[in-house]
Amino acid sequence: MTHKNLALVLGGGGAAGNAWMIGVVAGLAEAGVDLTEIADLVIGTSAGANAAAQVRSGTPPAALLAATLAPPPVQTASQPRPPSPPRPMEAVFEQMRTISAAATSQAELQRAMAAYGLASDASFGPEIAEQRRALVARRLPSHAWPERPMLIVAVNAETGELATFDRESGVELVDAATAAISLPGAGPTHSINGTRYVSGGVRSVDNADLATGYRNVIVLSPFSGRTGPLPPGQFEGLRRPPGADLASEVEVLRNEGSRVEVITPDADSRAAMGVNQMDLATRIPSARAGYEQGKREAARLANL
């Protein structure tokens, strides 16, 4: 497989989406398309930020898949535990739906979501932020930024503006990855050097437009391929103003000369991912389905 200037975009999608993307990467590698080797840039949003760190860790795709398929370790008293949200998640998603329905532009949506995140901070004690960061640290293959380019996407909670982190940003990888999964209202915003951040999924599920300038772009998007309404209560399924959806981002890239290939869950993968992609129980079936799909998808990437 020959390539030039290839960017890999890994979108948001919860626990199921993360596992599905690792499965796809492993399946593609099995069929001769190893994105861990050929991608010149990896961009990660929300759950895709963790997947990006996995892909850039130097771990072979088969080993990444094996780790994803392994049963979760027995929890001990000394290990960080997932913080329990102080409110039902449906209330959080309902507030997000209200915000997205009222927004008339993407910039307005980002500011409103960021403000919601900040307003919710009072509901969380400092131990919640500490527990979440510790969990992210435990899940990352390495706490050091990779040598090869990787971009993690967040949103500045104080301004609503795009924020990106990379090796040169002066931000620890654990903090960047924690900011990337900081869902407004579901947990506290994440503070980095005195500035607070929320998930880059507030701006876009995939943020594929950040791959501008690359000749070839491959997008793994756990949510964007679904037809009809998304399952209720899914953050990445919120209504997006025109221009903030994946189709619009792909159109921009193609108009600027990029060849773009988008991989979304096929029917078997959607069935494996279920209706609650944040459920940890979906990880193993999603990874298996993604692996099989990845093997089938390799042919159309062969000429990149």
Ranges of each domain in the chain = 6-70+85-302
Give me the pLDDT at residue 240, please. 64
80, 134 in Cβ contact below 8 A?
Answer: yes
At 214, which amino acid appears?
Y
Token pair, residue 119, equals 């307003």
Which residues touch 92 (CB under 8 Å, ≥6 apart)? 85, 183, 184, 185, 186
pLDDT above 90: residue 180: yes
| Cα–Cα distance for residue pair 219/213, rounded to 1 Å | 15
| Cα–Cα distance for residue pair 222/210, rounded to 1 Å | 18
Cα-based torsion angle of the residue sequence 131, 132, 137, 141 in order, rounded to the nearest 10 degrees:
140
The class that CATH gives domain 6-70+85-302 is alpha beta
Give me the pLDDT at residue 141, please. 92
At 65, which amino acid appears?
L
Q: The whole model's pTM is what?
A: 0.91
Residue 182, classified by CB atoms within 10 Å of its CB into exposed (0-12), middle (13-18) or buried (19+), is buried
CA 121 to chain centre: 22
Q: What is the pLDDT of residues 90-148, one digit of tens each?
A: 788 888 888 988 888 889 999 999 999 999 999 998 899 999 999 999 989 999 999 99
122, 176 in Cβ contact below 8 A?
Answer: no
Rounded to a whole number of angstroms, the CA Rg of the chain reads 18
Q: Where are the beta strands (DSSP E) in the chain?
A: 6-10, 41-45, 150-156, 162-165, 190-192, 195-199, 216-220, 259-263
Q: What is the pLDDT of residues 29-73, one digit of tens each?
A: 999 999 999 999 999 999 999 999 999 999 999 999 999 999 876
Q: DSSP states of 166-189 as a string?
A: -TTSS--HHHHHHHHT--BTTB--
Q: What is the pLDDT of residues 216-265, one digit of tens each?
A: 999 999 987 665 555 555 555 556 666 678 899 999 999 999 999 999 99
